[in-house]
C-alpha cells in the first residue's frame, strides 16, 4: 500500500529535536520518504512554538527533554492554539507513554517512539496521524 501522504494530500510536519545530528537525520530521512511534505525544523521547544505559529503544521514530532522549553510545555501551548494537532513524541524512556514524569499528562492519545528511532515505527505513526487528519 502506498503512502497516504504521497497521494496528493497537503501536509506539513514540524520536527523539534535539540540534538543537531539527530535533527538533521530525521529531517533528511523524512524529506526522502515524503518528498511532497513541507518539513520545518527547530532545535528547542521555544523555536518550535514560534515555527508552529508561523506554519501551523498538522503533525509535530518532538523530543521531550530540550533546553529553553521542553516538548511537553511546547505541546501544551500548541494545543491552546490548534487542539487537533497530532503529536509524535520521541523519548529515551521505554515504559508506556504517560508513565515518565518528564512526559507529563497530555500525550495519552499521541504516538510515542522510543529512541533509538526505528523509522518504520515513525513512518507508521505519521501515516496513522495523516489518516486521522483526512477522514
pTM of the model: 0.87
The residue behind cell 515505527 is 121
Which of 2-6, 13-17, 99-103 has the lowest average pLDDT? Answer: 99-103
Reported as a single tens digit per residue, the pLDDT across 67-98 is: 999 999 999 999 999 999 999 999 887 655 44
The domain defined by 1-10+19-64+81-118 folds into Rossmann fold (3.40.50)
User: Which helix (H) or strand (E) covers residue 16, if one does?
Assistant: strand 12-16
Q: How far apart are CA 134 and CA 118, in angstroms?
A: 25
Could you tell me which residue, 121 or 134, shows the higher pLDDT?
A: 121
Q: Could you tell me the residue ranges of all domains in the chain?
A: 1-10+19-64+81-118
Q: How far apart are CA 118 and CA 25, in angstroms?
A: 12
Q: What is the pLDDT of residue 108?
A: 67
14, with CB counted inside 10 A (0-12, 13-18, 19+), is buried
Reported as a single tens digit per residue, the pLDDT across 20-31 is: 999 999 999 999
Amino acid at each position: 500500500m502506498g503512502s497516504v501522504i504521497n497521494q496528493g494530500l497537503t501536509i506539513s510536519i514540524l520536527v523539534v529535536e535539540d540534538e543537531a545530528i539527530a535533527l538533521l537525520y530525521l529531517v533528511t530521512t523524512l524529506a526522502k520518504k515524503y518528498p511532497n511534505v513541507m518539513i520545518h525544523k527547530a532545535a528547542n521547544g521555544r523555536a518550535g512554538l514560534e515555527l508552529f505559529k508561523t506554519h501551523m503544521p498538522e503533525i509535530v514530532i518532538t523530543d521531550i527533554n530540550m533546553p529553553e522549553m521542553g516538548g511537553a510545555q511546547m505541546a501544551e501551548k500548541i494545543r491552546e492554539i490548534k487542539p487537533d494537532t497530532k503529536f509524535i513524541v520521541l523519548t529515551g524512556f521505554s515504559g508506556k507513554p504517560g508513565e515518565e514524569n518528564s512526559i507529563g499528562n497530555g500525550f495519552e492519545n499521541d504516538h510515542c517512539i522510543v529512541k533509538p528511532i526505528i523509522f518504520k515505527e515513525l513512518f507508521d505513526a505519521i501515516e496513522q496521524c495523516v489518516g486521522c487528519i483526512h477522514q
